[in-house]
Amino acid sequence: MLLDLKELFVSDGARKSAAYPLDLTGVDVNGEHPFTSPVNVKALVVNTAGIVSVTIDVDFVYSTSCDRCLTPIKREFDYTFTHKLIESLEEEYNDDYIETPDLQLDLDELTTSDILLELPSKFLCKGDCQGLCQKCGHNLNLGDCDCSKAEIDPRLEKLKDLLN
């Protein structure tokens, strides 16, 4: 959604809002498409004392698999993002402001990048997930497997011969 900000930059106290579903089902995150339903977006752009800012509220369901045991999980997220908008920057790069030289804001692009940057880097089915056995692949959350736990580092195997 492209927001026209011309009236917001010239009128103190001006407001503009938008609410719509954002389809991110085609977004690839680590080889998966975890957005199975649209993201609910509510945006409010306000000019307060000459400072134009945008506040974006999003909520969505994220479907992925546990990074340790591969169990499918679904998580609900809701985030709020706030950005200050400016027509042009005098410096080359500044994280504090979003530059809008044509006085238009691509809300979809901004919202998508905010969501992807805010997502956790690791998803676990539970905080104490045991993961999978390295030998047989058994899910250790369901109980122990029959694999031998005593393992000798193959680089030190020759030293065992010295003890015999």
Whether residues 62 and 142 share a domain: the answer is: no
CA distance 114 to 30: 17
Whether residues 110 and 144 share a domain: the answer is: no
Cβ contacts of residue 115 below 8 Å, gap of 6+?
24, 39, 58, 60, 79
Whether residues 118 and 143 share a domain: the answer is: no
Whether residues 111 and 48 share a domain: the answer is: yes
What is the pLDDT at residue 155? 79
Structural contact between residues 74 and 61, judged by C-beta atoms closer than 8 angstroms: yes
Backbone phi, psi, residue 90, to 5°: -85, -25
Q: Which domain holds residue 20?
A: 2-129
Q: CA nearest 18: which of 50, 51, 47, 55? A: 55
Whether residues 40 and 116 share a domain: the answer is: yes
Whether residues 115 and 90 share a domain: the answer is: yes
What is the pLDDT at residue 147? 84
CA distance 117 to 8: 27
Whether residues 82 and 135 share a domain: the answer is: no
Report the domain count for the chain.
2
Whether residues 90 and 147 share a domain: the answer is: no
Whether residues 34 and 81 share a domain: the answer is: yes
What is the pLDDT at residue 94? 67
Whether residues 120 and 48 share a domain: the answer is: yes
The one-character DSSP state at 32 is B
Residue 13 Rama label (left phi>0; alpha psi -120 to 50; beta) = left
Average pLDDT of the chain, as a whole number: 89
Whether residues 82 and 121 share a domain: the answer is: yes
Residue-wise pLDDT tens digits, 43-79: 999 998 888 999 999 999 999 999 999 999 999 999 9
Q: Can you give the pTM of this predicted structure?
A: 0.81
Please, which pLDDT band fits residue 93 given cuts at 50, 70 and 90? low
Whether residues 96 and 162 share a domain: the answer is: no
